[in-house]
Amino acid sequence: MQLSVETTASGGAAVRDLGKRFGAVQALDGVTLEFPAGQVTALMGENGAGKSTLLKILAGDQPPSQGEVLIDGKPVVLHSPAQARAAGIRIIPQEPEIIPHVSVAENVYVGALPHSAGRRLDRAELGRRIRADLDRLGFTRVLDPELLGSELTPAQRQLVEILRALTGEAKVIAFDEPTSSLSEQEVAALFALIRRLREQGVAVVYVSHRMQEIFQLADRVAVLRDGALAGVLDAARTSEAELVRMMVGRDLSAMFVRERVATDRVVLDVQDLRTDDVHGVSLRIRAGEVVGLAGLIGAGRSELALALAGDRPVLGGRVLLDGTELRPGSPGAAIRAGLGLAPEERKAQALFLYRSVRDNISLVVLERLRRRRFVRRGAERELAGEYVDRLRVRTPSVEHEVRKLSGGNQQKVVLARWLARRPKVLILDEPTRGIDVGAKAEIYQIIADLAQQGVALLVISSELPEVIGLADRVLVMQNGRITGELDRAEASEEAVLSLAMADDLAGATREGKTE
């Protein structure tokens, strides 16, 4: 049954009977949906449900196979991004496109830079514009307009994309997972901006898998499932459980339930590891054990993962895998010893986006597929097909480019690569970041299956329910150090946060006594 809520705001955008087919895959199937002016419409659904395809059609990146797009009730032709922008549509992508060798200000106004009479860039005017916009949008404290694109953090890159989208007159603005790399301060500024846009009568489309954000911001929630509209709900009158059931067709309340299978055999033994960002970390993980690693942004979790995988210089300490010491600073040695890493930034650090699913999966097992100096392509396709089936990767074929897959399916390709390698230790850094609840449940099951097979797992996550639900033990980091350990029975969000903020709380106590 399709549910709906009445809309009262005039104007905005709409799609009518929208369909898109890619060969045999029906990505969108007759979707009719309004995005009313002055309201925030959350767009939800599993990865592969059609959200990205709908946004690409609105952005002018892809033509629909059927149906039409309407702005203020009138059909518009969107054959290019330029036409979409002229119609007042702005799409802020999950992965920002930043020019590395120019400043933040030049990145924001690219294509509309101010020039003096001699056609030179008017830097004074550019500076005035960017400072005024940063102040107007509340980003003055979090973004330096003089920084080069190459110097920006992932969060700053996202803010540049947002600023770029807000130049000129916008009638419809779509945010695609905008908070995936933002700090709490930056998220607060973004939410304040979205509320101002709503007050100004802009139609806001907000794509996110984070339920808390949906209920904070949205007026209405539209759910896509298998390319069709499953329903539209009033955000104030629905619940997380109802949205999950609409998205995936089942209750996910038991998705963390798994049998403990850890053995006594220590597979990974880290002794007093030191890098520029990690200060004397020691830990042990046993075969079949899932160890969670929690901490606030900047705690050093990802830096520890990269050091263990040989991708960061090590200043001291030892890393032993099955009793054999790993050579520091050598990713190849770590892989050969049986250690794999699925990093936080899968697109930037793990995937070859313009290569096929087959190429990405087979990358670390090519020596097994070679005959003399040549890779046996038939064996490579067979291997890739096996893991695509096992992990239920939604792709037209193993020859499909990875960049065209949804985030959840891209993450499954990264996991498939390491499953093909059969690692002894697997480090998963934010394994479900930016993916939907259905894909999360599948990845949780993959983690449980790997533990059952005796793999030692280190799972890094910023979502406390996730790290607590998955782990046999939780280690907590702050400022490059482990501040505590909690077993499954005593782990709670309050206990983890207390350890994650231990140094700050101690410092505050010391300051209070001094005063």
The model's pLDDT over 431-466, given as tens digits with 9 standing for 90+, comes to 887 776 777 888 888 899 999 999 999 999 988 888
Nearest to 408 by CA among 453, 454, 441: 441
At the top level of CATH, which class does the domain 12-95+170-177+201-248 belong to?
A: alpha beta
**Residue 511's pLDDT is what?**
43
The H-assigned helical ranges of 74-206 are 81-86, 104-108, 123-137, 154-165, 184-199
Q: Measured on CA atoms in the order 501, 313, 454, 282, is the torsion positive or negative?
A: negative
Q: State the CB neighbour count (10 A cutoff) for residue 262.
A: 17
pLDDT of residue 492: 86
| Domain 266-347+422-511 -> CATH class | alpha beta
d(Cα 239, Cα 208) in Å, to the nearest integer? 15
* Helix locations, 422-501, DSSP H: 437-452, 464-470, 493-500
The answer to whether 426 and 436 are in contact (CB under 8 A) is no
pLDDT at 1: 28
300's tokens: 């050093």
State the Cα–Cα distance between residues 167 and 129, nearest whole angstrom.
10
Buried b (16+ CB within 10 A) or exposed e, 103-135: bbbbbbbeeebeeeeeeeebeeebeebbeebbe
User: What pLDDT, on a 0 to 100 scale, did the predictor assign at position 503?
Assistant: 57
Cα–Cα distances (Å) from 306 to 33, 123, 147, 276, 411, in that order, read 44, 40, 26, 12, 18
- Write out the residue limits of the CATH 3.40.50.300 domain(s) in the chain: 12-95+170-177+201-248, 266-347+422-511
Residues in the chain with pLDDT values less than 70: 1-10, 47, 118, 249-258, 436, 502-515
Token pair 């070679």: residue: 370
> Cβ distance 181 to 140 under 8 Å?
no
